[in-house]
Amino acid sequence: MKQVKKSNTNLLDCYVLEPDRYGDERGYFSPVFLKENLDELGFEGIVQISRSKSAKGVLRGLHYQYDPKCQAKIVEVIRGSALDVVVDLRSDSPTYCEWTSILLTPNNNKQLFVPRGFAHGFLSLEDDTIFQYFVDNDFAPSLEGGIPFNDPAIGIMWDMMFKEYDIVNPNLSEKDINRERLVKTKTLFKRNK
């Protein structure tokens, strides 16, 4: 029996996951992930589970890792709220350079499956937001890459998002401020290897 609902996004191979919840006035129980669901996604198994904590207005991303340590992720928010944003960087994908965003909160019980070859980032919408990542490959700092969150080649509508969530100036790391634009990077992932 499937216990995680999978819904398409506008990006090929990228899905919203909604684990079932069983509960009553005392609380609930929910299967966060199941092997059957991971196999269906082509997720090769969890190598690492990580968490980050962010204040409101922190923008992390847009990040990826190069092959052979490219990563797929299942991401969720376990406290607070965040707007998760991903970009398809697989040059042979029909959704290449397109993006999507999804609101992640503990209450909406949504996760996002981010395939290999995608850039990933999020905007924290509350103080003390805890973001959790289930990752299928090791962290490899020497293979880390990224593009600017506001790269014009992608055209993410950040200004609308900032306005909607009352964020005046996003808080970025020095590394994310100085990322090279997509046209200058060698970000060539492939969907079909």
Report the pLDDT averaged over residues 174-189. 88
The fold for domain 4-184 equals Jelly Rolls (2.60.120)
Q: What are the extents of the domains in the chain? A: 4-184
Helix or strand (DSSP H, E) at 81: none
Local structure of 163: helix, strand or coil: helix
**Enzyme catalytic residues:** 63, 133
pLDDT of residue 24: 84
pLDDT of residue 1: 45
Is the dihedral angle over the CA atoms 136, 141, 145, 146 positive or is it negative? positive
Assess whether pLDDT exceeds 60 at residue 125: yes
Contact 37, 4 (CB under 8 A): yes
pLDDT of residue 157: 95
Contact 49, 22 (CB under 8 A): no
* pLDDT 10s digits, 133-150: 999 999 999 999 999 999
Across the chain, mean pLDDT equals 90
